[in-house]
Amino acid sequence: MSSGIEFDAAASRGIEVAYLTADVVAQRVEVQGALDVRPGERVLDIGSGPGLLAEALAATVGPKGRVCGIDTSEPMLEMARRRCEAHSHAEFGQADAGKLPYADSSFDAAVSTQVYEYVADMPNALAELFRVLRPGGRVAILDTDYDSLVIHTEDPERMARVLRAWDEHFVHRGLPRVLTPLLRDAGFTVCRRSAIPILNPEYHPNAFSYHLTRMMAGYAVGRAGVTKPEADAWLEELRELGRRGEYFYSLNRYLFLAQRPG
């Protein structure tokens, strides 16, 4: 679960704000509905981030259940612990998706949102996931295909450099395209696949792209030939397009529901 972005305290707070936008709140509701967690179940959240989904899962499974969240970022884990402090049956620890610190068949369900695109050895990570799920256990995985990203610009060359720089922060820019065979090779039965689009035709703080483009600009500086003045100019262009009513951002995420046979 590592990437080129270092999720220190400031970056973690930025992610939390982005994840509280209407776009991601709706996404979380859809993911939770697909996983269909029930009271008393044991659930693993791989890449729990600021703990927003884990909090909802903990409320659903209740005190007779268990929610275990893992992340590689200690600031993220601290945020999740604070968010879920009212749920004594929720716990969080630092771990990697490729080496899950749990016994075989420990969980009834698992969830991973925007994590596996950062994992180099997907066969190993999915084998670990298969191992810790009980027979009949299920998993919901959400990841992005970045070829679906559309951002309106009046300077396509600058935009192309920013996007090339952004590509450096993950391992798989098109993981959903190959996730079905990867899951099947790991032993899973793929039960459902669906698209969750993020469409922002306006530029404002309650839009996911408002926050993500700032992160993209900050990350791009010094990569793919992008200078800080260029990154700042790109953000100013987006603001101006927003003021003129010409802003457009669209991105597709894909949700996979799979089950360990048995």
pLDDT tens digits, residue range 118-164? 999 999 999 999 999 999 999 999 999 999 999 999 999 999 999 99
Question: Residue 190 contacts by C-beta under 8 Å, 6 or more apart in sequence?
Answer: 180, 183, 184, 256, 257, 258
- In contact, 223 and 165? CB cutoff 8 Å: yes
Number of domains in the chain: 1
CATH number at residue 74: 3.40.50.150
Structural domain including 194 reads 9-145+171-199+251-259
Q: How far apart are CA 137 and CA 41, in angstroms?
A: 10
Q: Is 113 helix (H, G, I), strand (E, B) or coil?
A: strand
Q: Is 209 inside any structural domain?
A: no
Query: Which residue is associated with the tokens 């993500």?
Result: 212
Max CA distance (Å), the chain: 57
Would you say residue 236 lies in a domain? no
pLDDT single digits (tens) 58-107: 999 999 999 999 999 999 999 999 999 999 999 999 999 999 999 999 99
Q: Is residue 2 part of a domain?
A: no
pLDDT band at 12 (very low <50, low <70, confident <90, very high): confident
Chain-wide mean pLDDT for the chain? 95
Q: What's the average model confidence in pLDDT over 235-252?
A: 98
Domain annotation covers residue 159: no
What's residue 8's pLDDT? Answer: 74
Q: Given a cut of 70, is residue 243 above it in pLDDT?
A: yes
pLDDT per position as a tens digit, 179-196: 999 999 999 999 999 999
Residue 225 lies inside a defined structural domain of this protein: no
pLDDT for the residue 11: 78
- The verdict on residue 126 lying in a domain is yes
Average pLDDT of span 232-252: 98
Q: Is 64 contained in some domain?
A: yes
| Cα separation, 82 vs 9, whole angstroms | 14
Residue 124 lies in a domain: yes
